[in-house]
Amino acid sequence: MNRRHFILSSSAAALTAAGIPGAFAAPAPVTLPADHVAAMRRRKRRIVVMHDVYWVMRNYGKMHPDVNAPFGPFRSAAFSYVDEPGTQIDALWWDIGGSPVGSVYPSDVSQPALAPQVKRWADQGVDWVKELVNETRRRKLEAFWNHRISEVDMLPEGGHAKQPHPLKVEHPDWVLPATWWPHGMWNLASPGLREFKIRVLREIATRYDLDGIQIDFARHIPCLPVDRQWELRGVVNEFMLMVRLFLLEVAQRRGRPFLLAARVPQTLAGCRADGFDVQTWAEQRLVDILTLGSRTMDVDVEGLRAAVGAGVQLQPCFDDHHTTDGYRYAPIEFLRGVFANHFRRGANNVVTFNWAMGTPAVAKMVGGEIAPLSHQLAFREIGDPRTMAGKDKIFAVERRGGYPWADGFFNRNDTAPLPAKFSSDQLTHRFGLRVSDENRGAVRPSVRCILFNAGEGDAFEFHVNGRRIELSIRDPEWKDAQIFSPKPQRTSGGDGKYKVDPKQRLLRIEGTVPADVWSAGRNEIKIRLAENAARAAESYPQIEKVEGLLTFPRG
């Protein structure tokens, strides 16, 4: 019996003997070859771009009704920002479909139907995935495949399928009910599904010249039965072991390491809630890299580092399509604040997801996301704390919600503290504001609060780290197109176009922070409603945003 079969059989026996589906007991940590360990020590990244090009390809095909879209312009567009001088992009992790109805490349394992444009290119002798991977390697950039563990049922030509994926019909035990998706999600607790996914991943690993594979649990949850995720964590552990072992086999045959990453929630508690036992993954050497979060700016790098140790690289992710609520397409100062905080908290590098591939003109040409030029500038700055040092930044407290496509913790930001409403029982709110920079040479470090439903007679007190801050600005005419109160919050995503309501009345209050009060790391912000006369519950103000602003001298 070879080593792979011994470990899998031993762990399966342990599961059976324990009588607990979630139990996991590998006989010993996986032994990683010396060249694998050396490759991880050498590998230094700044920015990893998770490049979601499948839907761009579909849009590009729709722009050519004759299904004759030339591949050359699409290939050039996909590398537009990557090829710009000064970019800090070191890695392209290709996010090209998880489990749509059909295959995104000519496959012997998945369903045979191809997206129309993929089929047209294949008929012309163009394997678009191979071309993108090879072009990545030609640029001496890292090439990964990002595998969405539980994708929704998408038609090859685009749009949501009215009927479930054929494999869901054929294997109902492979499916979990989901409150937000009628066809259900893939169920990793099913041995048959795990084995099928291994066949899919093995085909990808042996077909394309990749540096690694990422198992993307962000798309979507649940991938384990709801309310039993932690109990069933062992089946995910075993799946990660299966992936690790076959990738080591592939690496041995080709003579080059094959790395393994996983995208997991941004806190250890969130990982536990969704059934991802990252501490065991680290102890058993089942993973090299963890991508943390997706649409959050508050990533607990320190907590996850304590859980997994220094041997696993940690890279926080920021999705600027399904962005944290209230900050879609925010200015460069905000992006600097987000990514500078990640590095301050100990990240090895950072990840962008759902960002523009090029300028609006380039994106329009192929049907890509048309985003502001802050992305172009950010790709030259956010991968290195040194290129963000001494530059203006905005730091913000996280906002809840905006992501209904999950039954669990991942992506939802349900634990975020904002919005926060005052009441007769709660006239004071406290927030932790993460700040990357010391107040050295800043012209005007300040804190800002945006409130809804604040009246002329409402007085507010600000405290930063226990010190009273004098408020220098009170602007009752403030507008913010991404705050919708009193209407319900909008779902994240869409085209990113927000219109300001001319009738909107928000209150902006702001105060300067003394140099000896502003502190790098976590700052406590206390906001108190000083006027506390009796009033109806619905008339109390609501805190929408809390921000710290750092402005440096010009020139």
CATH number at residue 158: 3.20.20.80
Same domain, 154 and 29: yes
Same domain, 239 and 351: yes
Same domain, 375 and 435: no
How deeply is 1 buried, as exposed, middle or buried, from its count of CB atoms within 10 A (0-12, 13-18, 19+)? exposed
CA distance 359 to 362: 5
CA distance 468 to 512: 11
Same domain, 321 and 437: no
For residues 194 and 243, is the Cβ–Cβ distance under 8 A? no
Which of 491, 489, 431, 427 is CA-nearest to residue 458?
Answer: 427
Give residue 257's identity as a one-letter amino acid code.
P
CA distance 310 to 290: 12
Question: Quick check: is 134 in a domain?
Answer: yes
Return the pLDDT at 98: 61
Give residue 306's identity as a one-letter amino acid code.
A
Question: Quick check: is 195 in a domain?
Answer: yes
pLDDT in tens, 135-171: 999 999 999 999 999 989 888 777 788 999 999 999 9
Which residues on adjacent β-strands are paired with residue 213? 145, 260
Q: With left for phi above 0 and alpha for psi between -120 and 50, is residue 361 left, alpha or beta?
A: alpha
Question: Quick check: is 393 in a domain?
Answer: no
> Residue 93 above 50 pLDDT?
yes
Same domain, 60 and 163: yes
For residues 84 and 357, is the Cβ–Cβ distance under 8 A? no
Instruction: Provide the domain limits for residue 473.
Output: 417-550
Residue-by-residue DSSP string for 237-274: HHHHHHHHHHHHHHHHHHTS--EEEEEE-SSHHHHHHH
Radius of gyration of the chain measured on its C-alpha atoms: 24
Same domain, 121 and 11: yes
**Residue finishing a domain among 346, 370, 388:** 388
Q: What is the SS3 assignment for 288?
A: coil
Same domain, 525 and 378: no
CA distance 423 to 541: 8
| Percent of the chain predicted with pLDDT > 90 | 81
Question: Quick check: is 319 in a domain?
Answer: yes
Please give the structure tokens belonging to residue 146. Answer: 């990002």
Same domain, 376 and 421: no
Give residue 229's identity as a one-letter amino acid code.
Q
CA distance 497 to 328: 9
CA distance 45 to 149: 24
Return the pLDDT at 1: 32
pLDDT in tens, 340-361: 999 999 999 999 999 999 999 9
**Residue finishing a domain among 368, 388, 408:** 388
Sequence-distant (6+) residues with CB within 8 A of 274 are: 217, 221, 222, 223, 224, 229, 264, 265, 408, 409, 410
Residue 205 host element (H or E) = helix 191-207
Question: Quick check: is 243 in a domain?
Answer: yes
Same domain, 261 and 181: yes
User: What's the whole-number average pLDDT of the chain?
Assistant: 92
Which of 191, 202, 220 is CA-nearest to residue 98?
Answer: 220
Q: In which band, very low, low, confident or very high, does the pLDDT at 106 lie, cut at 50, 70 and 90?
A: confident
Same domain, 282 and 336: yes
Residue-by-residue DSSP string for 44-109: --SEEEEEE-HHHHHHHHHT-TTS---HHHHHHHHTTTTTSTT--EEEEEEE--SS-SSBSS--SS
**Residue finishing a domain among 342, 372, 388:** 388
Question: Quick check: is 405 in a domain?
Answer: no
Return the pLDDT at 465: 97
Return the pLDDT at 12: 44
Question: Quick check: is 555 in a domain?
Answer: no
pLDDT in tens, 173-204: 999 999 999 999 999 999 999 999 999 999 99
Q: With left for phi above 0 and alpha for psi between -120 and 50, is residue 326 left, alpha or beta?
A: left
Same domain, 40 and 154: yes
For residues 61 and 117, is the Cβ–Cβ distance under 8 A? yes
- The number of domains in the chain is 2
For residues 147 and 99, is the Cβ–Cβ distance under 8 A? no
Same domain, 274 and 368: yes
| CATH code of 461's domain | 2.60.120
Question: Quick check: is 218 in a domain?
Answer: yes
Return the pLDDT at 227: 96
Residue-by-residue DSSP string for 387-414: HHTTS-EEEE--B-----S-SSSTTT-T
What is the torsion angle, in degrees rounded to the nearest 10, for the CA atoms of residue 225, residue 226, residue 227 and residue 230?
Answer: 60
Number of neighbours of residue 48 by Cβ within 10 angstroms = 27
> Residue 91 above 90 pLDDT?
yes
